[in-house]
Structures are given as C-alpha cells and as structure tokens.
Amino acid sequence: LFRSLPINAGFRAADMCLFSEQEVLGERVIRTSKKRKASEVFMMEASAFEPGELIVHREHGIGKFDGLVDVEVSGIRHACLKLSYAGGDRLFLPVENIELISRFGSEHEHVELDRLGSIAWQKRKSALKKKLKMAADALLKTAAKRAMINAPAMEKETTDYQRFCDKFPYTETDDQLRAIEEVESDLHSGRVMDRLVCGDVGFGKTEVAMRAAFTMVEQGYQVTMVVPTTLLARQHYQNFCERFEGFPVRIAQLSRMVSSKDAASTRAALADGSVDIVIATHAILSQKDGFKKLGLVIIDEEQHFGVKQKEQLKTFKENVHVLTLSATPIPRTLQLALSGIRELSLITTPPLDRLAIRSVVMPFDAVMIRDAILREKHRGGRTFYVTPRIGYMNDISQKLKEIVPEASIAQAHGQMTPAKLDAAMNDFCDGKFDVLLSTAIIESGIDIASANTMIIDHPHLFGLSQLYQLRGRVGRGKVRAHAYFILPAARTLTGNATRRLEVMQKLDHLGAGFSVASHDMDIRGFGNVLGEEQSGHIREVGIELYQAMLEEAMQEMREKRGHDSVHAHDWSPQISISMPVLIPEDYVEDLGLRLSLYRRAGALEDDAQTDDFIIELTDRFGALPSEVQFLMEVMRVKQWCKKAGIAKLDAGDKAMVVSFHPSALSNAEALVGLIASAPGRYKLRPDQSVLINVPSQPNGTRLSLCIEEARRFAALTAPDQAAA
C-alpha cells in the first residue's frame, strides 16, 4: 500500500535517510505574471515582424528591417537591428531600444521609405497627432455616453448557476475562465455591457455565452442569440437544449428551417415571455417590439453581419446587454475594442490535446485529392470539399466520382430546401457519406469531430477570415487534421489573393486567429470607425504606432494635458557600457524567437518583471551566458534611466556621463542641488550633461553603479517611482 504524504523537508531515521522533492530538484518558484489588457496581448501578437518587412521608427519614420546583426566596436559585440532607409541610409538600433520600432504592416506597395534626418516624417506624425486628438475626443464622448446608461445589476453567483457550470464536460482554460469572469462582472456592474469575446475557432467562446445567458434567464430576462446561417442556428439550438437540460428554461429557434406555424408560435411566446432563449438568424430583426423582457443580445460570428444590422440589434432596448463572439473580428470591430469603446476579452489558450491543422496550397492534382480522401476514410473519418459557387458543384461531384469511386458523396448548399439540407447534414454527421461537397454554408458552427480533412476549391475567391473559419471546421478533436487549398491550373492570382493564401499556409499554429485579424487589417484597412476613414491614417504610420498614438491621444484627453506633453513611447534611453550585450545564437538558435525575446525584454518595466523573465530564460534555455546577463542588467539600467529622465548614459572604467531628456528638466533645481552636494563626484559640463567620477570597477559592479546613480536621479525627478 502506497500513500502520498505532505512532507516538505527530509529527515534521517535509524536505518534510512529521506529526501523531499524540493531538496532533490530545488525550490519551486511561483511566477506571478502581471495581468495585461487584452488589447496589449493582441498588439503583441499582431506586431511581430520578420526580416524584409517594413517597420516604423518613432523618430526616423518608415524603414525596412534587414535582420539582426552583431556590431563589434573596440572588440565589444552588441546585438543591433539593421534598418534601411531611403537613399541607402542605414541605422543600427541597439536591441535594448527595440521598443522604438513597430511593424508597419504587410502592405508594401506604394509605400515610400523615409530618409534619415528628414523633417517629412515629423511633419506627418505631427499632423496625424492633431487628427487623432479629434478622433479621441469623439471616442471618449461615445464611451461616456454608453457609461451613463444604467442596466439592471444581476445577482452574484447562485447555487443553480454553479450547478450549471459543473455540467460543462470539459476543463476550462485559464483564458476561458477569465473571459467568463469579465462577462459576469459586466452583468453584475449595473452598466450596459458591450463586450467582444475574441477567441480562436473551437476555443470555447460558446460556453462563455451560455453562462451569460443562464445568468440573465435565471433572473427573469430573455436572451436572443443571433447567428448568420441556418446551419449554425440548428447546431446552437441543439447545443443549448443539451446544455440547459434539467433547468426550467425554454429554448426556441427562428430560421428558415422552422415552419411558418412554429415561427409564429415562437414569436408569440417571446412576446408573452414564455420563451427564455431564442436562437435566430436575421429573421429576429423584425422582432424589435416582440420581447417581453429582453436582457441580452449575443451576436455570434459578427464578421458576417453588417454595421446597420448590428446597430439595429442594439436598438431592441436601450439598456440591453450586447455580447459579441468572433474568431476573426472585422477590422472596424477590432479597432473599436482596441480603442476602449468596446470591452475586449481574449481566449488564446487551446483546449487540451488540440493539434494544429496542416495546410497545403497546391494546384489541382487528382492523385493528391484521391490520397487525401481515402486516407481520411481509412482512419474512420470524413472529408469536407468546399467550393465558392453552387454552379461548380455538379462538375466537381462528377470529377470526385471518377477520382474516388470508393467514396460516397453528399451535397449541401443554401438553395436546398430546409428538409433536404437538414437530412444531408444529419446523414453526413451519422457517417452515411464519406465526403460532404458544399458551399461556404458550413463556414460557421459545424462541429463534427470525425471530419478531419478539408479540401477548398478556388480558395482565391474566399476572404481571409472565411478561409480561416472554413479550415476551423476540421481538427476539433484529438486527431491531426489536414487542409488543402486547391488552385485552378494556369490561373494568375491577384496580389491580395496570393497574400491571403500565403497567410493561411504560414499561420497553421493554434490560436492564429489574432494574427489573421491583424493581416486582415493590413489588407483591408481598419475601416470607418466614427464617420472618418481611418485606414489612410494607418498607412501613414503603420498599425502598431497608430494604435499607440491613439491611446496616447485618448489619455491626454482624459487628463486634459497640453499638446506638447512628452509620451513615454516617444524616446528610449541610449546606454553604452562597453560590454557585450546580446542573446548568442548558440543560446537561442531561432531568429524569430530571439527577436520575440528582445521585444519582451524591451517591454519590461521593473525589477520584478525582469527577475521573472530571467527565471523563464533559465528554465527554457539553461544558465544565462554572460552576454545575456549583461543584457538583463542593461534593461534594469534602462528602466531606471527612463524613470529618471536620463536620455543617454555612457559608462567606462572610471567615469560615466549622463545626459537628460527635456522631460526631466522640470526639476532642474533638485538636479543642481545634487551636483553641488558632491562636487568631487559630480561635474556639470557645458553641454548640460553630468560627469560622474566612479572608482575603477569590474563589469558587474559597473552596472550596479549605473543602476545606483539612475535611482538617485529618479528620486529627484520621480520620488514615487524611485521609492517603489
């Protein structure tokens, strides 16, 4: 008989010596990560850049990123980002200042590089700041108007709600739990909810909606879930009925698949309050005054609805809660969420045992198609064959019968009668057919765990989010799924179509929906947010910098600051310590991963975050080489220099020189007082920099002295930050 005992420390007995797990493997370190806003998570995902892409430098404008290089000066290696500008100009940016650059976007056509030292970039940025202040003012007024609308505050968690949650057959991911908590918090707040839940295909957005619906229904309110297709309405109706079984909740559906008699009965039941939840397509739009007590509108797959339709849904009732679900939100919706007008929750963690879908772009090949369908059939699965036109279906069906005579084929499209479409889907789900030949009607909501091969014909005729949603119909279980994008022979594709397919082939990892949304921004622009075309502004400065400038403008409007205020993102301290600062290639081989680590290091804000990052690096890659140790200490120096307003710090063996940013000169008297207090240590130079005499020290101590001096200056310019 073996038992597990809660022993934290070893001990010695007469005939044995026992060691605990911690004594053998070392102490456990629990890292508490700082909770970041969903918009920050998204922008970190969307702003990754690769060699050859256009980037934007805060001070110098649009350039091209030519990769990471090691620059050697006086025998000291330093990792730098090589940037190219117009006229052959080059800039080597130290990796510790990587936060000064951002990704411009995928759109490279008709984009001119800036010239180093030119005032054209500063003029464009200044003009955009003025426009963004006007946009920020309008956005904040919209947000304030929404915040003034009161809504009934739902009661906190009840016993029935907990019982409903316990019926969920899967283990919730951390992101899913966070999204549920944020939605429930909105419902309990007494303010109208307008939240976007953005999560990849099959990552659990529907469960978030179901729990919100249960909260509303339990307290006497009605819920409507609006979906774009009849098939999705059917599937959600079945899922809701199964999930709410055992609770006194009446659920109905309104779609083309419902008879006129049943639809009329459902509408009457909504009016008298006997139906609690209705799953509906666009048919619900005519039900504006037909609810007895509507409390929540859930919009699923919002990218399929027009702006007018979504706004019409909100007018059902002034204080109705709105919950929007999407894997690839349209740029306008995402921009509103990133701007803070709508709340945003991200679900980025895949379910347990989910495998990424393998994607292949290829010309039509009968042998490959036969092999793909038969391989799926032999492992007990089924295949989707999707075409963009109903007119193509008969020819494709005939070809498939010739290529794979062993496979049985069913068809599904929007012009079929509801009874035939329902029968075809049921037969395919039950395994009576090997292949479902369909249009994009299966794009949303179809969840068949045994269907794990997807063949998409003429993929260039689909949009990017459509392709991503279609691919998400497979690979929803624990089996490796495959997606084939079949191009017609000898067909020349447009530039945008080629880019869409490149994105689909490249982004084949789990949780790529946010990257798809960012690429969609590149291709389509942000769209019209407040009656003013924003995409032209974005093309001037790039996606990431545009978003940062908009947030800064909104912050200025909140705090009523002047136009000339200095933002933290506008500058970064330049630090020279005559020590190698880099992540060696033999420590982290992958270039993309090294770039990602540099970006994360550049975003560190304090000692606690730096310590956590060091622990993570050690855990993933092993003991830190001296170059990485110096990099981490330089990041600490940089953090304190930023707080102290030190724009430049040069440290040598016997002295260091610091130059201050104009933002620090507001407390010039305190700086002069410190210099006067120790004339042997500090000396004010004619260029207003400060020379600091220090004893000759080894590298590690030199960095410690740099931190010490930066903290001393920070205590003068920002006492609260220095104390922290």
pLDDT for 211-248, tens place per residue? 999 999 999 999 999 988 888 888 899 899 999 999 99
pLDDT at 450: 87
Mean pLDDT score, 143-157: 73
Does the structure show a pLDDT above 60 at 86?
yes
Residues shown for the chain: 724
Helix (H) or strand (E) holding 393: helix 393-403
Rounded to an integer, what distance in angstroms lies between the CA atom of residue 673 and that of residue 138? 45
pLDDT at 156: 74
Rounded to an integer, what distance in angstroms lies between the CA atom of residue 95 and that of residue 93? 6
Mean pLDDT score, 387-393: 92
Q: What is the dihedral of CA 432, 480, 228, 235, to 10 degrees?
A: 50
* CB contact at 8 A, 266 and 278: yes
Phi, psi of 410 (to 5 degrees): -115, 160
Rounded to an integer, what distance in angstroms lies between the CA atom of residue 357 and that of residue 482? 6
Expressed in angstroms, the distance from the first to the final Cα of the chain is: 53
Mean pLDDT score, 169-178: 87
Rounded to an integer, what distance in angstroms lies between the CA atom of residue 431 and that of residue 433? 5
pLDDT at 484: 94
Mean pLDDT score, 44-71: 82
Task: Please name the residues in contact with 609: beta carbons below 8 A apart, sequence gap of 6 or more.
Answer: 34
> Would you state the structure tokens that stand for residue 696, as one six-digit string?
């000759």
pLDDT at 530: 42
pLDDT at 288: 57
Strand order across the 321-326 sheet:
251-254, 277-280, 222-226, 294-300, 321-326, 194-199, 343-347
* CB contact at 8 A, 425 and 230: no
Helix (H/G/I), strand (E/B), else coil: 321 = strand
pLDDT, tens only, 430-484: 889 999 999 988 876 677 888 999 999 999 888 877 888 888 888 877 788 899 9
Task: Please name the residues in contact with 92: beta carbons below 8 A apart, sequence gap of 6 or more.
Answer: 69, 71, 80, 81, 82, 83
Comparing CA positions, the residue from 662, 643, 571, 594 lying closest to residue 100 is 571
pLDDT at 564: 47
pLDDT, tens only, 366-386: 999 999 999 999 988 999 999
> Would you state the structure tokens that stand for residue 399, as one six-digit string?
């070809």
Rounded to an integer, what distance in angstroms lies between the CA atom of residue 224 and that of residue 216? 11
Q: Residue 308 gets which letter from DSSP?
A: H
Range list of β-strands (E), 531-581: 574-576
Q: Give 3-state DSSP helix, strand, coil % of the chain, rounded to 5.
A: 45, 20, 35
* CB contact at 8 A, 336 and 342: yes
Average pLDDT, the chain: 80
Mean pLDDT score, 280-299: 80
* CB contact at 8 A, 218 and 246: no
Does the structure show a pLDDT above 80 at 276?
yes
Phi, psi of 289 (to 5 degrees): -105, 15
> Which ranges of 257-323 does DSSP label H, i.e. alpha helix?
260-272, 307-314
Measured from the Cβ of residue 699, the count of other Cβ atoms closer than 10 Å reads 17
Phi, psi of 251 (to 5 degrees): -120, 140
Measured from the Cβ of residue 311, the count of other Cβ atoms closer than 10 Å reads 10
Comparing CA positions, the residue from 465, 419, 421 lying closest to residue 441 is 421
Rounded to an integer, what distance in angstroms lies between the CA atom of residue 400 and that of residue 358? 22
Comparing CA positions, the residue from 499, 500, 453 lying closest to residue 479 is 453
| pLDDT top residue among 40 and 210 | 210
Rounded to an integer, what distance in angstroms lies between the CA atom of residue 333 and that of residue 301? 12
pLDDT at 527: 46
pLDDT at 526: 46
Rounded to an integer, what distance in angstroms lies between the CA atom of residue 683 and that of residue 666? 20
Go through 553-591 and write b for each residue having 16 or more CB atoms within 10 A of its CB, e for each that does not.
bbebbeeeeeeeeebeebbbbbbbbbbbbbbbeebbeee
Q: Tell me the DSSP string of 205-273.
A: HHHHHHHHHHHHHHTT-EEEEE-SSHHHHHHHHHHHHHHTTTSS--EEEESTTS-HHHHHHHHHHHHHT
Comparing CA positions, the residue from 472, 162, 205 lying closest to residue 349 is 205
- pLDDT level of residue 644 (50, 70, 90 thresholds): confident
Mean pLDDT score, 691-717: 80
Rounded to an integer, what distance in angstroms lies between the CA atom of residue 525 and that of residue 42? 17
Q: Residue 447 gets which letter from DSSP?
A: -
Instruction: Give me the percent of the chain exceeding a pLDDT of 70.
Output: 77
> Would you state the structure tokens that stand for residue 433, as one six-digit string?
């057919």
Residue written as token pair 């009607």: 441
* CB contact at 8 A, 206 and 243: no
Helix (H/G/I), strand (E/B), else coil: 318 = coil
Comparing CA positions, the residue from 323, 316, 338, 433 lying closest to residue 377 is 433
Query: 61-73 and 76-84: which strand pairing?
Result: antiparallel
- pLDDT level of residue 105 (50, 70, 90 thresholds): low
pLDDT at 643: 87
| pLDDT top residue among 724 and 552 | 552
How crowded is the C-beta side of 182, counted as CA atoms within 13 Å? Answer: 22
Instruction: Give me the percent of the chain exceeding a pLDDT of 90.
Output: 28
Mean pLDDT score, 657-675: 77
| pLDDT top residue among 130 and 706 | 706
Does the structure show a pLDDT above 60 at 709?
yes
Comparing CA positions, the residue from 325, 320, 322 lying closest to residue 345 is 325
